[in-house]
Amino acid sequence: MSEVSVQLDKGLTETDDILVRAREALRILGTPTVVPKNLAVTAPSKLKWKTAAEPDASKATVSRSSNTPLVYTLFCALMILSGLGLVWNGNQVFGPEMYAENGLAPAASAFEQGENYAVFDLNLNIRRLRDIHFSRMTKTPDLVVLGASQWQEAGHDLVKDLKFYNSHVHRDYWQDMLGVSEILVRNHRLPKRMIISLRDNLFTPISARTDYLWETGIPYYQDMADRIGVEKETSWTSLPYQRVKQLFSISMLFDNVTRWYNANELPHASAARQFETLDTLLPDGSIVWSKKHMKLFTQERSKKEALAFAEKRLNDPPKVEARGLEAIDKLLSYLKSQGVTVYLAQTPFNPIFYDRVQGSAYADGLVKIDTLVHGLAAKHGLQVIGGYNPHKVGCVASMYIDAEHANATCLKKIFDQFSALDRAQGGK
């Protein structure tokens, strides 16, 4: 350390007093307060006395000390905000299909080229994908399905002589029926025929929902609500709380980063339909399970899943929000005014689940939902295809991977009903 020269007040002759004043002067100047033992102290030839105009050292100390908590608080706040920003950005980088605004643009680009797109997980921002995909379509489909993931394995080969698009979204609610319809309208891709699937939990109020995937479709739903004159949810109840929570989740970031760096394959476009560990999104909106998933979907597992789900639902009947029912009613009127022929649909449950819940509160609630669906059909002059009862549709337990997700063999039976009705109406 270089030597330091300090001017001292008159009369300081003791070594201890000199060092005390030296440390105080250095501290006020912002210099480290530790004074080495070999500090050189020189007394000036002309002593400088402290005047009233000069700041008092003790007061400077108090002022500097009083600012310290504020500076520390601001520093901590800045560090926390920076950390949250890194987590937010990290989840978008390592989970783009779910969290990045244009994370599914590569998938839409692949579809434009007639290719498929492999992904880690099917629980992605599929509502955003639908918007991007429809915006890039050059031709309007002849038939579009609106519904939940129960339709996910329905490909274009199930419908003959029609250009078919499967616009299912995961965990749909009544807002999604409006939202996906809005995507079709705003992209000028409203088809002549639509199959709108009304599942058991479609009308569940927001307060009773336990999942949040629907939140990504809120902007689309709000626009269609304005279009058809439906009262919207309040800003407070429709804020995407859970989605924001996931974006700021450190555990989610850890999972995303771990998955990314441990993966044998990363999401990519390909002409192949099936992969070892990645599920596949197809240009017609349907999906193909990975080989790894297909090995898991045994009949033993399917039965176990169906029975476990039944136990949860026995005393938990479907809930109906009147506003949701009114919204679907107005949506059907709007689509009719646009020249769209609508078919209402119900997807059948796994027979193991369906038989187990008979005689329960849930079964009674399902009958009420069925009555509502047929009531809407009668009011608007529509046909109902499919059904919740698998025995009537002709689907057996071996066609399911769990309580409610059937394969293409079962779903084809519903499309056969559609085709017969469509032909009877002259294919209008």
Write down the pLDDT at residue 5.
38
Residue 362 in contact with residue 317, Cβ under 8 Å?
Answer: yes
Residue 275 in contact with residue 118, Cβ under 8 Å?
Answer: yes
Q: In whole angstroms, give the CA distance from residue 278 to residue 290.
A: 5
Residue 363 in contact with residue 356, Cβ under 8 Å?
Answer: no
Q: Strands 164-166 and 287-288, how do they pair?
A: unpaired
What are the backbone dihedrals phi and psi of residue 353, each rounded to the nearest 5 degrees, phi first? -70, -50
Beta bridge mates, 195: 145, 343
Q: What tens digit of pLDDT does each residue of 95-126 get?
A: 999 999 899 999 999 999 999 999 999 989 99
Beta bridge mates, 144: 165, 194
Give whole-number Cα distances, 187 to 132, 146, 182, 194, 424, in Å: 9, 16, 8, 16, 30
The angle at the Cα of 406, spanning 401 to 410, to the nearest 5 degrees, equals 135
Residue 335 in contact with residue 181, Cβ under 8 Å?
Answer: yes
Among 97, 104, 114, 105, CA closest to 273: 114
Q: How far apart are the first and last CA of the chain?
A: 93
Residue 178: is it exposed, middle or buried by C-beta count within 10 angstroms (0-12/13-18/19+)?
Answer: buried
Residue 278 in contact with residue 120, Cβ under 8 Å?
Answer: yes
Q: What tens digit of pLDDT does each residue of 24-82 get?
A: 544 544 444 443 444 344 444 444 444 444 555 444 454 555 678 888 888 888 888 88
Q: In whole angstroms, give the CA distance from residue 150 to residue 327.
A: 22
Spans of the chain, pLDDT less than 70: 1-66, 427-428
Write down the pLDDT at residue 17.
53
What's the helix, strand, coil split of the chain in %, to 5?
Answer: 50, 10, 40
The answer to whether the Cα torsion of 76, 81, 87, 93 is positive or negative is: negative
Write down the pLDDT at residue 52.
45
SS3 413: helix
What are the backbone dihedrals phi and psi of residue 104, each rounded to the nearest 5 degrees, phi first? -105, 10
Enclosing H/E stretch for 353:
helix 351-356
All residues at 6 or more sequence positions from 161 whose CB lies less than 8 Å from its CB, including other chains: none
Residue 196 in contact with residue 343, Cβ under 8 Å?
Answer: yes
Among 140, 215, 178, 148, CA closest to 330: 178
Write down the pLDDT at residue 11.
43
DSSP letter assigned to residue 119: E
CB count within 10 Å of CB 100 equals 17
Buried b (16+ CB within 10 A) or exposed e, 56-94: eeeeeeeeeeeeeeeeeeeeeeeeeeeeeeebbebbbeb
All residues at 6 or more sequence positions from 421 whose CB lies less than 8 Å from its CB, including other chains: 343, 383, 385
Q: In whole angstroms, give the CA distance from residue 187 to residue 135.
A: 5
pTM: 0.81
SS3 348: coil
